[in-house]
Chain A
């Protein structure tokens, strides 16, 4: 063994560990820090359904087969945990009810009754449904599944229903009764989500539950997982004994392609014929190249409605920071040019956002005042608040303290970095100095939970979860508690949030949401940037492309070639 070897070995070990100790980038996770992800089933056909019947052999090798590119392996799609790919989980597993743009609709439960006190839900299950392994879907299976989820409650803190389930009883073969500790209006919405209240065959349980993993993936959904090669591909085939309308596509393959460049080339060659951008993928596909594909080859681009809002969360409770002051937050809001961000940074794949929730979110279409891009107004606000300009540095100051603020972004997201730099330049003209700090997403999550930040890139949970999940998160320490705690009506705000979650009638709910959203809008603690949308690239002759009420899933069972 030579000295050289020892040197090389040590160097290699050191390099690896340095990466572990202070790595500031991540290969996955593109979008804003981290976020919920988990979501419901089915159906809003907001997507366009353009005609165009030019058949092309190369884009779909055999009839009724689709191969989509995914940046990451589908992983463990145990529906009671969160590691798996959501689109894949959604194909295989189903919930009791589904969230559609027209509200909650039946899925595995045909109907349900809610007791007058709102604390007891009785579900009448669909008859004749079986899991992919042939086991019957009945009241006993529902009870076992929900108990398996509840046995791991610590991991489901985000879904407030998990803390409110008191008991579940199987009344007869096809009736279950779910008892809550208190009335909770989003109960059905949360039951509709892809995870965790979805149903897997009890035969797949490990150690009598699912928290330690599962031995198979037999759901009741339109597709069965038939083959999975880790980090290579996963194959789904249509479930022939599906209880609902038989899916048109007989086979769907998820092919792992981590690099955006290769994905585009694979699309051109026809090795994959379908891609969609969830919140992670948007950064990796070049927009120009995408448009080019649609022009030259037999592909179509389909875009969804607004799915979520990208925001900058301002820490109102950090009393030694300028962002604790409302005027500073408002001034920053008005010094951001959202049109340019939408057009130049996202090439139109994200839309300018004017408030925390877009108007297609439930209870959010309440006409909040716009704070448009207006540098003069921003300057006026700061002047009035006593922030005097300093001609030397260009950064304003008050009582000897400079208007200099740290903005944290996800180092793995090129688009966040570009936005941060752009916002930094426009904020400077108003005299606000932004210091940009890129960090890895788990470290940003930690900052958010401990309140160790001034400004932070983030995003709302998404259509199916907004407003209730995002608003619940205002009171959760690991989420937005620090963002909202510093505003002077904070206690009033939290009171209203608790009230809306247990409210029983629609009218008072609307009124409460209006008040909640007005408070956080007036206080400007969530500075909106853009609305994220889902973009699909698919063969031109693929029909019935639509979206669900979430950016994380697609209703593959409805799509089909002519």
Chain B
């Protein structure tokens, strides 16, 4: 098991290097003059050629591409992500709090998604083809096909303004989590419960279920076994959902004025704030690798066969 985990981690390192190199290279190919974009983002009213030249020099943009990538990589190894081109502040002082805010939102949402998906998935699989199943699938279909932006506006109007129960936006208290978490949960649980449902249905027809029932096992115990086997697929899916949500909260953050990673990254991309963009890509890549490895390990722990396969 130890060796298995170690292998995973070692494999992740070249992967991260490739990703950051790609990000760096693609940035480099962008037709927009980065010094100009940075000055624009700083609000400088008249950007002269001299100022662009001065800024390029100051930010080290005149150095060769590979040299810049190399020194960035070395700094990263020392956990120094550099300073934002636009604000001059250390990247980590901006990205750190935003990452934590988005992570909090993501983890709470994830808990809700897992709980809801399992409940709905098991419920609809056990009542396949009946009213409950149809009802759940219909409702999920309806809710997931609503644009989150629109649904969120409606929910803010109803719960915050009309009923006056929750704040419209911000992250001041625990109540602030309810609406954004609900929106994210609706968008994802409606899809993920199907994974559970279909793998439950697949397992229901397995021989071991037939034998278990033939042996007169309690139906509750049978369901437990089915669920345990069905969850293996779900673990990988859920594991990957965390980084996916982490990287796609822009709309929800914008609408709920959530000071997170989404709005920060879009702003950095538009102002060509390369140190921030690079750090963002790195963070996201690391979380992808981390959660993927984690779900592989959990799977391996749950099923010895998965360990042998590789």
Docked complex Cα distance between A262 and B44 (Å)? 30
- Say yes or no: B87 contacts A262, CB within 8 Å: no
Docked complex Cα distance between A462 and B151 (Å)? 39
Q: Is B275's CB within 8 Å of the partner chain A?
A: no
Contacts of A243 in B (CB 8 A): none
A27 with B267: in contact, given A157-B51, A259-B255 (CB under 8 Å)? yes
B93 (CB) vs chain A CBs: closest residue: A230
Q: Is B285's CB within 8 Å of the partner chain A?
A: yes
- Say yes or no: A83 contacts B42, CB within 8 Å: yes
- Say yes or no: B259 contacts A13, CB within 8 Å: no
Contacts of A35 in B (CB 8 A): 45
Q: Is B256's CB within 8 Å of the partner chain A?
A: yes
Q: Is A287's CB within 8 Å of the partner chain B?
A: no
Which one of B71-79, B108-116, B152-160 is at the A interface?
Answer: B152-160
Docked complex Cα distance between A26 and B285 (Å)? 24
Contacts of B31 in A (CB 8 A): 21-22
- Partner of A446 from the list B33, B41, B170, B256 (CB cut-off 8 Å) is B33
B7 (CB) vs chain A CBs: closest residue: A1
B37-53, CB < 8 A from A: 37, 39-51
- Say yes or no: B293 contacts A269, CB within 8 Å: no
- Partner of B263 from the list A2, A76, A258, A261 (CB cut-off 8 Å) is A258
Q: Is A165's CB within 8 Å of the partner chain B?
A: no
Number of A-B contacts (CB under 8 A): 190
- Say yes or no: A262 contacts B47, CB within 8 Å: no
* Nearest CB in chain B: distance from A446 CB, A: 6
A21 with B46: in contact, given A16-B23, A259-B257 (CB under 8 Å)? no
Contacts of B19 in A (CB 8 A): 9-10, 13
A82 (CB) vs chain B CBs: closest residue: B43
A32-55, CB < 8 A from B: 34-38
- Say yes or no: B156 contacts A262, CB within 8 Å: yes
A1-29 vs B, CB cutoff 8 Å, 1 = contact: the mask equals 11001101110111011111111001110
- Partner of B288 from the list A5, A443, A446, A479 (CB cut-off 8 Å) is A5
Contacts of A81 in B (CB 8 A): 42-43
A257-300, CB < 8 A from B: 257-259, 261-262, 265-266, 268-269, 271
- Say yes or no: A16 contacts B281, CB within 8 Å: yes
- Partner of B40 from the list A19, A34, A262 (CB cut-off 8 Å) is A34
- Say yes or no: B257 contacts A262, CB within 8 Å: yes
Docked complex Cα distance between A256 and B272 (Å)? 23
A8 with B157: in contact, given A27-B270, A82-B45, A476-B46 (CB under 8 Å)? no
Number of interface residues of A (CB under 8 A): 68
Docked complex Cα distance between A244 and B161 (Å)? 40
B258 (CB) vs chain A CBs: closest residue: A231
Q: Is B103's CB within 8 Å of the partner chain A?
A: no
Contacts of A449 in B (CB 8 A): 47
Contacts of B54 in A (CB 8 A): 154
Which one of B8-16, B130-138, B192-200 is at the A interface?
Answer: B8-16
- Say yes or no: B168 contacts A265, CB within 8 Å: yes
- Say yes or no: A265 contacts B153, CB within 8 Å: yes
- Say yes or no: B169 contacts A262, CB within 8 Å: yes
* Nearest CB in chain B: distance from A305 CB, A: 23
- Say yes or no: A257 contacts B26, CB within 8 Å: no
Q: Is B164's CB within 8 Å of the partner chain A?
A: yes
* Nearest CB in chain B: distance from A222 CB, A: 23
B260-289 vs A, CB cutoff 8 Å, 1 = contact: the mask equals 000111110110100001001100110011
Can you pick out 7 interface pairs between chain A and chain B where the beta carbons lie within 8 Å of each other?
Answer: A1-B293, A12-B285, A16-B281, A75-B87, A155-B44, A231-B257, A442-B41
Given contacts A16-B281, A271-B169, 12 further A-B contacts (CB under 8 A): A1-B292, A8-B240, A13-B23, A76-B87, A83-B86, A154-B54, A230-B97, A261-B153, A262-B256, A262-B257, A265-B161, A445-B36
Chain B residues engaging chain A, CB cutoff 8 angstroms: 8, 11-12, 15, 19, 22-23, 26-27, 29-33, 36-37, 39-51, 54, 86-88, 94, 97-98, 153, 156-157, 160-161, 164, 167-171, 240, 247, 254-257, 259, 263-267, 269-270, 272, 277, 280-281, 284-285, 288-289, 292-293, 296
